[in-house]
Amino acid sequence: MTAQTTGRQSPTPVPAAVRRRLPSWFGTWEITLLALVVLAVALASATSPYFATGQNFSISATGALGLSLMVVPMAWLMVAGEIDLSVASTFALSATVFGLAVSGGLGTWPAIGLGVLTGAVAGLVNGLLVVDVGLPSLIVTIGTLGLYRGLSYVLLENRGISDLPPGLTTFAQENLPGTLVPYGFVAFVVVAVAAAVLLHRGALGRAVFAIGSNAQVARFSGLRVGAIKRGLFVFSGVVAAIAGIAYAGYISTVRASNGTGLELIVVGIVLIGGISMYGGKGSFVGVLLALLLVTVLTSWMTLGDAETAVQYMVTGLLMVGAVVVPALSRRLHMSRERRRSAGSVR
């Protein structure tokens, strides 16, 4: 991916009267996603007696923790005009290192630290190859996707590690006492709110948008483009490591296959959320709504015994729609404007 200026991935503009009442990060595309979420919840509730229950919320939120966490740095990276397709492999490699450390007698927190360090190093390798060597992030992270996943298989040799610390499994599987709210969900909400505020209100967020819009102009403006991009790749690796360790606690097993295929869902959610594939455009609120939409649909299909292949197909259709519908809408809008201009000339 390269940093280019592109039109916002959204349908025709929100009417001015409505726009004045909306925050700057909430536009037509976010309204569309919110409507789709409401529609999906209504249909799921009407067709499944188990959907609109606290127990289903708890199960869905707990199961989606790893995916949800990885969406956060991916949104930042794609706003900056980059991408990290190695997140799911980093997810597995970091959990593998953590599991081996625990099974070797290392304490829980030192083992977690080692796993997170693994993710940071994996992210730094990506960042150095992209920023300092000058390779495209798409190509680099496709390569490290295979490298990191392969290292996981080499280290584990097709075996699993199930003797994990009770504290980790409690965090990843249990709810706050007396509630149906998972510990992990609370942690994600804190991370998501902080990420949204920093991206849209913080100096670093403004710098990331500037880099995604035009990296050369951002560099001439005095922004440390290389350092920021390296930092974002490290951020991606660290969060992927935390997500991988949490997921291992959720399923009570570390395997080299953990998280296989998640990278495409993570990227898909960010695209569905309206982040431009060229960088510099989009809102984190849209990404959160897209995450909620995919989680609702996944829960609904799971309750309906839909096969995993069907769930991937639905996510894929949403990804295509997220790109095609706004593009068609923009073309239609431009066509109307041209006809209106031609009419006024006559």
The rounded distance, in Å, linking the Cα atoms of 211 and 279 is 8
CB 192, CB 36: distance < 8 Å: no
- Kindly tell me the number of DSSP H helices and DSSP E strands found in the chain: 15, 0
* Tens of pLDDT, residues 260-292: 989 989 998 999 898 988 888 888 999 999 999
* Tens of pLDDT, residues 104-153: 999 999 999 999 999 999 999 999 999 999 999 999 999 999 999 999 99
Average pLDDT over all residues of the chain: 87
Query: Which pLDDT score is estimated for 238?
Result: 97
Domains of the chain with CATH codes: 27-324 (1.10.3470)
CB 239, CB 154: distance < 8 Å: no
Phi, psi of 106 (to 5 degrees): -75, 145
The burial of 259, by beta-carbon neighbours within 10 Å (0-12 exposed, 13-18 middle, 19 or more buried), is given as: buried
* Tens of pLDDT, residues 151-178: 999 999 888 999 899 999 999 999 999 8
